[in-house]
Amino acid sequence: MNENSNDISDQYSDTELIKNLPGFENKYITVNGIKLHYVESGTGKPLICLPGWPQTWYSLQPVAMQLAEEYRVIIIDLRGMGTSEKPESGYDKKTMATDIHQLVLQLGLEKVSLMGHDIGGMVAMSFAFNFPEFTEKLIVLDGSHPSEGMYQMPLIPSPGTFNEKMDGKMPYAWWMGFNQVKGLPEQLLEGRFHLLQDWLFNYVMIDESKMTELERAVYAAAYNDKESIRASNAWYQTFQQDIEDSKHYPQLTMPVLGIGSYISYNYMNYGLPFVATDLQVVGIMDSGHYLFEEKPKEVLDIVLPFLAS
């Protein structure tokens, strides 16, 4: 697989984007029967970083270089993301966590800390549930493992809650349902994914200008073809399997840090204590969902002491 396998223009290829992160390198590895793309820099204890939807490894750009000053930072394009492979199946979070576990084994790492945002937080938690002996610490930002609470999400928004910005008390995430539909989203969005993406960034961020034009163009290019839309929607279409898997997991005993935006803090503060015994939950209440872009300094001020403690 080459870096432009999805017809991503050279301007937004991994080769060009890595130039914005001096010291980082593009790498590929075959794990669990698929090829994953990741970028890496730094020395010290390993920190695995897992991005969310609709983004790629580049979403860590605002914090990656500072993290790499103290840690071996490995940012992975998940199965179905960016220039990682997009197979027809395997998008349940346990299989995706197994991808990461096999990468850890191949790199000869004994224990890793993980930091995941959004869908990446779901995969990071699944890794911790399934491979606790390999998990040093776990950080999840605005995303935790699917649970039965998802079945209570509204089909119709409560009166007065569906406005220009997402309501923190009564969030309406209609795309969670839309992404369940097989076959149709890619027909509607191929070649114009930016329409959904830009609406989403504006809706779930307090200051949408913090998502730069370059970043918007990078992600629009990464999700603009049918295969990329199909694969990323499959992360959502496996939630029922993820929920069933979660019923059999023991509590997490390693140190866990949850970081929530104004949208997710209350939900994480309520839900994470059910699954983790050594837990901190911190809210960045003046940020929307894309915390790395809106509040990179605040994220680092929380993450670095947690990792060092």
Per-residue model confidence as pLDDT tens digits over 24-77:
999 999 999 999 999 999 999 999 999 999 999 999 999 999 999 999 999 999
pLDDT at 5: 44
For residues 184-188, average pLDDT: 98
Q: Are strands 112-117 and 46-50 parallel, antiparallel or unpaired?
A: parallel
Model pTM score: 0.96
**Contact (CB, 8 A) for 302 and 132:** no
Q: Which two tokens stand for residue 197?
A: 């993406």
Q: Which helix (H) or strand (E) holds 281?
A: strand 279-283
Q: What pLDDT score does 8 carry?
A: 54
Which DSSP helix (H) or strand (E) runs through 258? strand 256-260
Q: Round to whole Å and give the CA distance between 88 and 91.
A: 9
Close Cβ partners of 289 (under 8 Å, ≥ 6 residues apart)? 118, 142, 166, 204, 205, 261, 263, 264
Domains and CATH numbers, the chain: 10-308 (3.40.50.1820)
Strands (E), 23-133: 25-31, 34-41, 46-50, 72-76, 112-117
Is omega for the bond preceding 154 within 30 degrees of 0, making it cis? Answer: no
CA-based nearest residue to 39, from 51, 222, 234:
51
pLDDT of 4 over the 60 cut: no
Strand 72-76 versus strand 34-41 pairing type: antiparallel
pLDDT of residue 199: 98
Q: In whole angstroms, what is the distance from residue 131 CA to residue 146 CA?
A: 17
pLDDT tens per residue across span 238-294: 999 999 999 999 999 999 999 999 999 999 999 999 999 999 999 999 999 999 999
List, for residues 212-243, the tens digit of each pLDDT value. Answer: 999 999 999 999 999 999 999 999 999 999 99
Measured distance CA(266)–CA(218) in Å, rounded = 31
Rounded Cα–Cα distance for residues 150 and 152 (Å): 5
- The backbone torsions φ and ψ at residue 230, rounded to the nearest 5 degrees and listed phi first, read -60, -45
**135 DSSP β-pair partners:** 112
The CA distance from 18 to 101, in Å, is 24
